A and B are shown apart, each in its own frame.
Chain A
């Protein structure tokens, strides 16, 4: 096998599963250690640099990091239902307990002398705010447009206040706007041509995917008064235009928007709220924890029901009919839903919320401004630079590749900001900067390591919730109370410190087998070299997870190779602890993505 090149910035990055899975590549273990140490402001700033909205994301993130978390793979009682480290809720701990005055003092300095370049941002959601955050410290004059009167975009309009209090949004959008961004709120952009004519050097479009998909079945027109599009309804709730819903509510759809709709309904007078979904429970798009939260609030989820018609009497909605289906595999192994043949189901209701998807919509972009659109209605973009076919126009967030989530929008914003900065500095936008990687030994002395490596089986700690009685009474009362400092510490201690890497130096190895014998996970093998597929089967313990690398080092005296399976390594450091010659060392790989600025050009 090929000897592993640990100088490749991707190699150790992949070992840090959470950071690798995060679209913004936040250095997760680093901030978790800081939380354990009680250094909340430091932890907050690591997050803020990387994902811009730690307080928001600590409550609402889609957490792609958590399914990737190693803890879920290595605990024996964890195999059936993995219990990863509560990374997302730890982020909230950093946001809740940081020293606000300290944070204010740590915000980047904004040059008073501007660089003369003007950038327009369309939409004040997470993607555009990230672009502003990255460009303001570089001296750009940034103008942000939004039809609403305050910043936040979907963060403000879609996420119910019982999940995300307004004060958190105000605070974190404030950090950016206070940098001196020129705001044109309440001013919806209705022509890209006009905007370009205004002599901006670059335009970033982060207007989201604002159109909710409708359901065209019989009765839709007749009963329209009680049928609402989910995202529009949530926005109206958010802005206080809607304060009440019928006693019996049907929510159609299985995504996170549907979960927000049903939980909001429970707080606005909905007593019998049901979620009705076409697919099975496991195939629903909503995150498992959001489904859990809905069920916890007494909301049943009915699966395998396909909407057939809205039933109305005298122009008033009285219920809906559904066909029951079941999943069946076709000859190609594809799942399809086929009718069960059972009689149709009638569910009475007073209101229906349709949350079956969102679509992009760019009626305000003239087709002759040089921005090409693909067949899917999405702009034609370079996937790395986010540049459209009009070199001055960039897209990000849901507007770029269709609806995703906040953390993806942030990642897009960072990348687009790099592109804008490079373009306006006269550089090649396709030349992308590598991340900064720093490997530092964690050895402090004999048997002393600078991180906590006493690893134990430990179940995930639950985030305390407000009682249902008070939670359902007021739509503005936050349900989750968040970890307190003690729980936060305990949960932080579950982190395996996957960024503290096992680094092997063949030259020093005397092949005494001490590391092989001590490794609790049987990760290490000294064996004659061979083909990867063969080697994977003859290791101390078979390495069947092909998504995880084998660390290969040759140059040993016996001619064998050292093979380490990265998959289940606990990063406990016992190999280094038991190594007589220091051939193994534990080195922290601090990986920081490059953002717009001098680093993105020189690295």
Chain B
């Protein structure tokens, strides 16, 4: 919690993006989360990604539920649309908003309590319907607002701050997302922006259900020895399968990498994901392989991060529902109520 306002002054070399906005223009109010919270780093990563992508803030809608993580949309993209929904109900509000106005970019921000406990059903259905969105779970494995009980993503055998051992099996959100048909699945760590920022960019570009599980240590209740979501633990057990750069047609990146270590994945909108592979045999197009790999590495005590699965040809809910290209919100009365003659015609066709 901080009472000071962040000064408007900024570095003299701060560059505006193509829209003329600096990174600072994408900030929100000052965070009221605990000092050191991983969620603040994720907010910073979102700000960085959106700034780099030259996205106009008013074309983005950020939605969240309840919890520490769901407070964060106040702290980034202060000029974007926001909706703070009921606990665990962010996915359905997002789905509804997306159906009404397909022209906005949807960013759902949730936590492990909001998405893996009270909202697990909501999460599952938004993913399996393929809603075009970026769904970020800020995962700290603990109920911070109620002072440190295990959440549903806490690993079995991990220790609480008070010393209790978790006896329940954890829910692996990434495994769920893969199983439920998400077309972009990634895991990252709040303490590794080099990996996280491009993942957020790629997810925002992705035309389908994109899911990122971000491990985000809770400094107040889950950053001790025995926790599997602590800074030190995640750093020691982080097994990144790849790092990547997002290459837009307008701003190509010309960094040279060693042959064989690089794979380009071209997305629907023409952006390229240039993957620097760390696990040589890992295939980001193989859903089943990804699921198996995750389970094996988990058994070995590792936390797999990076882009885990992507379907560059993904299609979203609007395609499967065959909705009009025009956002539904733009249909006016003559469109929606064509008159009695049209009704008579329709009735006649059914006789």
Question: In the complex, which residue of chain A has the Cβ closest to the Cβ of B1?
Answer: A447
User: Which residues from chain B contact A577 at a C-beta distance below 8 Å?
Assistant: 2, 4, 35
Q: Which of A105-113, A198-206, A224-232, A516-524 contacts B (4 or more CB under 8 A)?
A: A516-524
Is the pair B6, A520 in contact by a Cβ cutoff of 8 Å? yes
B32-45 CB contact bits vs A (8 Å, 1 = yes)? 00111110110110
Given contacts A454-B5, A520-B6, contact A514 B41 (CB under 8 A): yes
Q: Is A209 an interface residue (CB 8 A)?
A: no
> Range of interface residues on chain B?
20 to 34
Contact across chains for B36 and A514 when beta carbons are under 8 A apart:
yes
Please name the residue on chain A nearest to B41 by beta carbon. Answer: A513
CB distance from A455 to the nearest CB of B (A): 4
Complexed CA–CA distance, A579 and B14 (Å): 24
Instruction: Tell whether A514 pairs with B35 under 8 Å between CB atoms, given A454-B4, A557-B232, A580-B219.
Output: yes
Q: Is B235 an interface residue (CB 8 A)?
A: yes
> A447-B3, A454-B5 are contacts. A541–B37 as well, Cβ < 8 Å?
no
A580 and B36 form a contact (CB under 8 A): yes
Question: Considering the chains assembled together, what is the distance between the CA atoms of A580 and B33 in angstroms?
Answer: 11
Interface of B is mostly: loop
Identify B36's interface contact among A523, A544, A581, CB under 8 A.
A581
Q: Counting CB contacts under 8 A, is A103 at the interface?
A: no
Partner of B2, one of A447, A520, A557, A568: A447
Partner pick for B231 among A512, A516, A570, CB 8 A cutoff? A512
Q: Does A390 contact B (CB under 8 A)?
A: no
- B14 CB contact (under 8 Å) in A522, A558, A581: A522
Give the residue of B2, B9, B34, B38 whose beta carbon is less than 8 angstroms from that of A76: B9
- In the complex, chain B residues 210-235 whose Cβ is within 8 Å of any chain A Cβ: 217, 219-220, 223, 231-232, 235
Given contacts A541-B13, A578-B35, contact A517 B41 (CB under 8 A): yes
The count of residues in chain A whose C-beta lies closer than 8 Å to any C-beta of chain B is: 38
Min CB gap A536→B, angstroms: 12
Residue B191 CB within 8 A of the other chain: yes
Which chain B residue lies CB-closest to A568? B11
Tell me if A457 and B9 are in contact (CB < 8 A).
yes
The chain A residue with its CB closest to the CB of B219 is: A580
CA distance A541 to B2 in the complex (A): 24
How would residues 422 to 458 of chain A score, 1 for a CB under 8 Å from any chain B CB and 0 otherwise? 0000000000000000000000000100000111110
Q: Interface readout for B112-153 with A: 1 if CB under 8 Å, 0 if not?
A: 000000000000000000000000000000000000000000
A522 to B9, CA, bound (A): 11
Structural contact, B36 and A574, CB atoms closer than 8 A: no
Q: Smallest CB-CB separation from B30: which chain A residue?
A: A518
- 66-124 of chain B: CB within 8 A of chain A: none
CA distance A541 to B41 in the complex (A): 17
The one of B4, B7, B13, B191 that contacts A511, using a Cβ cutoff of 8 Å: B191
Q: How far is the CA of A79 from the CA of B35 in the complex (A)?
A: 33
A112 to B220, CA, bound (A): 64
Known: A511-B191, A511-B231, A512-B41. A578 touches B8 (CB 8 A): no
Whole-angstrom distance between the Cβ of B266 and the nearest chain A Cβ: 29
Assess whether A453 is in contact with B4, with CB atoms less than 8 Å apart.
Answer: yes
Complex contacts, A578 vs chain B, CB 8 Å: 2, 35-36, 40
Distance between A46 CB and nearest chain B CB, rounded to angstroms: 27
Determine if A521 and B11 form an interchain contact, defined as CB atoms under 8 angstroms apart: yes
B78 to chain A, nearest CB (A): 15
Q: Which residues in A have some Cβ–Cβ distance to B below 8 Å?
A: 73-76, 79, 447, 453-457, 510-514, 516-518, 520-523, 541-542, 544, 557-558, 568, 570, 572-574, 577-581
B interface vs A, CB < 8 Å? 1-14, 24, 34-38, 40-41, 43-44, 190-191, 193, 217, 219-220, 223, 231-232, 235
**Could you list 26 A-B pairs, sorted by A, with CB under 8 Å?**
A74-B12, A75-B9, A76-B10, A454-B7, A456-B8, A457-B9, A510-B36, A510-B231, A512-B36, A512-B219, A513-B44, A517-B40, A517-B41, A520-B7, A521-B11, A522-B14, A541-B13, A541-B14, A544-B13, A568-B11, A568-B12, A572-B4, A573-B4, A574-B6, A577-B35, A578-B2
